[in-house]
Structure 1
Amino acid sequence: MPKSSDRWFSSPTQVYWCCRALLDGRSISHRTEIREVKGWRLAAICHRLKAEYGWPILSEPRGPDNTAYYRLRPGFDRKALRFPPSAQALAEEGEA
């Protein structure tokens, strides 16, 4: 059973999707997450990846509603990233 500090209030699928999208060089928004994985916690996922796992995530407001778009800082070191449990397979991909 995971410790409460290990629990995310987003499904593991959403966390994996977010990590994958960012690693693929995409700039993603809440609307993208809703469309692709029926999720609704992108800001929380990105915040936790940045605060607890040290991911170099940038946020850029766009459009009249200042919609946040998230992406990884250019030139980041993938080998230095720490991955949440649900995205650990992505860490192993990067080692291949």
Structure 2
Amino acid sequence: MNDLWYSNRTQVYWTCRALVQGRTISTLDEIGEVRGWRLGAIIHTLRSKYGWPILTDYRGPERVGHYTLSKSCDVLMLDYPRSAKDVRAEAKAVQIESDDAATGAANG
């Protein structure tokens, strides 16, 4: 794969982050938020090269693809592209904060 795929942190990073956050995203979201046009290609690469369990739901008469991660996916165990490695660290930090809040609520 061409290293240029890694160079646009905005689109790849945005896609990975949105999916890890539990969002359902479409090309229209990508265009509006990061002015990107290659969501389908990024999704394909995440599935085929990185093994991400991404689900597709085609909606409307235009059959626009809406993408989301499988609910059973452990985002900390995913293989991340170089341009999105920070997403794993962010997810881990959020999980630690959630665990701390749950522990505090149980003790408080």
Q: Give the TM-score, by structure 2 length.
A: 0.79
Gapped regions of structure 1 (runs ≥ 5):
none
Aligned length: 93
Q: Considering only aligned residues, what root-mean-square deviation do their CA atoms show, in Å?
A: 1.6
Task: Confirm whether residue 66 of structure 1 aligns to residue 63 of structure 2.
Answer: yes
Q: What residue in structure 2 maps to residue 25 of structure 1?
A: 22
Contact 1:10 1:41 in 2 (8 A): no
The answer to whether 1:39 aligns with 2:36 is: yes
Query: How far apart, in 2, do the equivalents of 1:78 and 1:22 lie?
Result: 9
Greater C-alpha radius of gyration: 2
Normalised TM-score (structure 1): 0.88
Mapped partners of 2:18, 2:56: distance in 1: 14
Which consecutive unaligned segments of at least 5 residues does structure 2 have? 94-108
The offset of 1:93, in angstroms, is 2.3
Q: Which residue of 1 aligns with 2:83?
A: 86
> 1-side partners of 2:90 and 2:27: how far apart?
26
Q: Note if contact 2:6-2:82 (Cα within 8 Å) is conserved in structure 1.
A: no
Per the alignment, in what secondary structure is the counterpart of residue 61 of structure 2?
coil
Return the offset for 1:77. 1.2
Is 1:46–1:57's contact at 8 Å kept on the other side of the alignment? yes
Q: What one-letter code is carried by the residue in structure 1 that aligns with 2:36?
A: G
Give the AA of the match of 1:93. Answer: E
Displacement over 4 Å in runs of 4+:
none
Pair 1:54-2:54 in alignment: no
SS of 2:40's partner is: helix
% identity of equivalent residues: 49
Aligned to 1:8: 5
